[in-house]
Structure 1
Amino acid sequence: MSDLWSLSDPWWHFVIRGIVMYALVTVLMRASGKRAMGQFTPFDMILLILIGNAVQNGINGGDNSLTGAVIMAVTLFVQNWLVAWGSSRWRKFRWVFEGKPTLLAEHGKIDYRMLRRQLVSEDDFLDAMRAAGCDKVSRVKYARLEPNGHITIETTDEKS
């Protein structure tokens, strides 16, 4: 029973492992693109499950104690809270962790190169236009891919 609470490493190893793995997964998720973060597909969910399994030993170092699990959970929650706190106070901090909006279209012209670069299909772009009540590309004043993966469409007032 005492093995449930006995750590295999010093407590601070778990804190360092948690910080490093949180940073690594954050970088990998940012590198995967905004669209992947905003629109989960079944493949994205599978990827997240597999990533969780893949980084498990990197976080716990093979330790299966309850104490290690508590230290890791607290470390990850605190780190996540700190990122949210910093993001809510400083724009540059938010840009580092969440990214900046990306311009996909401007003044009725779609930037197809940027759509491809951001992994947004033309159909997804047209769906976002329709959801914004925009019936023609020529009415698009600005279209931005937000850091959360949503496409924001700003239209001109003209209907023609």
Structure 2
Amino acid sequence: MNEYLDIVLRSLAVYAFMLIAIRITGKKELSQLNTTDVVLILLISNAVQNAMVGNNTSLSGGIVAAAVLFILNYLLKKLMFKNKLLRDLISQQPEILIRNGKLNFEMLSKLDITNEELEEAMREHGVEHYKEVKLAILEVDGNISIITGDQHLKQSQYKRKKKHKSLGDLN
């Protein structure tokens, strides 16, 4: 078999495996990397490198493997945007953790979210007590969004990466 076709097929297999592994481990881990998670990512990347390129340690072999991963990721995102079934299969759904001040203990337990983690998210959103929370949601990116029941919603410490025009700028 052509050595570059071999790299393409190996890269596709590794990408599929990693996608499934990340899907199974859950979304909470995506936003909360700690030291052990960084070490795991480094070790996984080293472990799968050989699985993708085999004996080919050339620059061109590495570039082919990286190109396959970028192209596959781009195509998968396009397909997910257009196909709800695929999007639902690959992406996770937001999960409600608190509704109207009542904790969803079953969901918190299922997602392995500790009381301390939930309280930290509440503090980051300027909320002291569970009773003040109208809705707390574990988003698909692993962050916890909190909406209070107040008329004046509390400002979150979360900062968006992209600048958006304010309503005043649209006129």
The count of residues paired between Structure 1 and Structure 2 equals 152
What amino acid does structure 2 have at the position aligned with 1:98? S
Q: Secondary structure at the match of 2:21?
A: helix
How many angstroms apart in 2 are the aligned matches of 1:76 and 1:158? 47
Listed one character per residue, the Cα deviations across residues 77-126 of structure 1 (whole Å, up to 9, x for unaligned) are 11111233334444443333331111112121112232222122111111
Identity over aligned residues, as a percent?
A: 31
* RMSD over equivalenced CA pairs, Å: 2.1
Q: Secondary structure at the match of 1:148?
A: coil
2:125 counterpart of 1:132: yes
1:21 to partner: Cα distance: 0.4
Aligned to 1:16: 9
- 5+ residue gaps in structure 1? 1-7
Q: 1:84 aligns with which of 77, 82, 99?
A: 77
Listed one character per residue, the Cα deviations across residues 2-61 of structure 1 (whole Å, up to 9, x for unaligned) are xxxxxx843222111111100101111121211111111011000101111121221112
How many angstroms apart in 1 are the aligned matches of 2:29 and 2:67? 27
Aligned to 1:67: 60
1:67 to partner: Cα distance: 2.3
Aligned to 2:135: 142
Q: 1:156 aligns with which of 149, 164, 171?
A: 149
Aligned to 1:35: 28
Relative contact order, higher structure (CA 8 A, sep 6+): 1
How many angstroms apart in 2 are the aligned matches of 1:92 and 1:107? 31
How many angstroms apart in 2 are the aligned matches of 1:9 and 1:90? 33
1:157 to partner: Cα distance: 2.2
- 5+ residue gaps in structure 2? 153-171
Change (3 A) 1:70 1:158: closer
What amino acid does structure 1 have at the position aligned with 2:118? F
How many angstroms apart in 1 are the aligned matches of 2:127 and 2:53? 50
Q: Secondary structure at the match of 1:157?
A: coil
144-153 vs 82-91, which moves further: 82-91
4+ long deviations beyond 6 Å:
none
Listed one character per residue, the Cα deviations across residues 129-152 of structure 1 (whole Å, up to 9, x for unaligned) are 122222221122221111111001
